[in-house]
């Protein structure tokens, strides 16, 4: 059995940055927006916490994959055991991506409050920065939804792969065709992850610009 490559998953995704207010909170629209925007950050805490565990699961699974490929079906019972272990890791990844999605959904819900506050801002540059902030965040949410959908499709292909390894009559051409699908799937995941990270970085930068334009004093 020839060794094939399998994409290591997308790993770390960029998370929103938070700030600590150093001045006094007040009732102005800008300060209301500040509170709402920082609440959005807090809603993504579970998303942020899932990044390192997901990366570690991906690395463990890739290690098992390489062990299976190295055996080349010479020790089928060992391959069955290893593929069973890999399926458990896949199941864990599925659970964690669900937690991640719920966190982003809560963030998106909380952002509606931020939009309402941002819509009340009427002074020049701050209003312009607020509009840019809203656009970038919507682009970010849309990007994440594409990414999550693609990643879950890739996980499904991984699950199918390890079930294939449990078939003693597995044909090399079938395995190679499936791994090609996986490689193409993870290539798409990596491209979408890059796009999501870029939107996140742009949003974090735009939020700082808004705070500066609105004269909100924060530690950054």
Encode 33-73 in three state secondary structure: HHHHHHHHHHHCHHHHHHHHHHHHHHHHHHHHHHHHHHHCC
Q: Which domains does the chain have, with CATH numbers?
A: 27-214 (1.20.120.570)
Main-chain phi, psi angles of 16, to 5 degrees? -65, 150
pLDDT tens for 184-198 read 999 999 999 999 999
* Residue 88 pLDDT class (50, 70, 90 cuts): very high
The pTM (predicted TM-score) of the whole model is 0.88
pLDDT at 59 over 80: yes
By percentage, how much of the chain surpasses pLDDT 90?
A: 75
pLDDT tens for 20-40 read 454 444 568 888 899 999 999
The gap between the terminal CA atoms of the chain, to the nearest Å, is 54
Say what the pLDDT of residue 183 is. 92
Say what the pLDDT of residue 17 is. 77
Alpha carbons 76 and 194: distance in angstroms, whole number? 38
pLDDT tens for 90-104 read 999 999 999 999 999
Alpha carbons 186 and 208: distance in angstroms, whole number? 33
* Residue 19 pLDDT class (50, 70, 90 cuts): low
């Amino acid at each position: 059995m020839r060794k094939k490559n399998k994409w290591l998953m997308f790993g770390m995704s960029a998370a929103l940055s938070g700030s600590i207010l150093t001045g006094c909170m007040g009732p102005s629209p800008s300060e209301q927006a500040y509170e709402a925007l920082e609440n959005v950050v807090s809603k993504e805490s579970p998303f942020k916490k899932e990044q390192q565990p997901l990366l570690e699961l991906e690395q463990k699974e890739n290690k098992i994959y390489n062990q299976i490929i190295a055996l080349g079906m010479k020790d089928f019972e060992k391959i069955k055991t290893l593929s069973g272990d890999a399926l458990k890791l896949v199941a864990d990844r599925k659970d964690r991506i669900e937690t991640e999605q719920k966190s982003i959904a809560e963030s998106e819900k909380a952002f509606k409050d931020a939009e309402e506050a941002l819509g009340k801002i009427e002074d020049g540059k701050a209003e312009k920065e607020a509009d840019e902030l809203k656009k970038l965040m919507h682009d970010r949410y849309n990007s994440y939804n594409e990414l999550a959908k693609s990643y879950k499709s890739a996980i499904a292909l991984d699950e199918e792969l390890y079930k294939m390894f449990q078939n003693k009559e597995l044909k090399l051409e079938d395995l190679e065709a499936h791994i090609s699908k996986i490689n193409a799937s993870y290539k798409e995941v990596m491209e979408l992850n890059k796009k999501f990270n870029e939107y996140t970085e742009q949003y974090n930068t735009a939020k700082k610009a808004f705070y500066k334009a609105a004269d909100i004093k924060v530690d950054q």
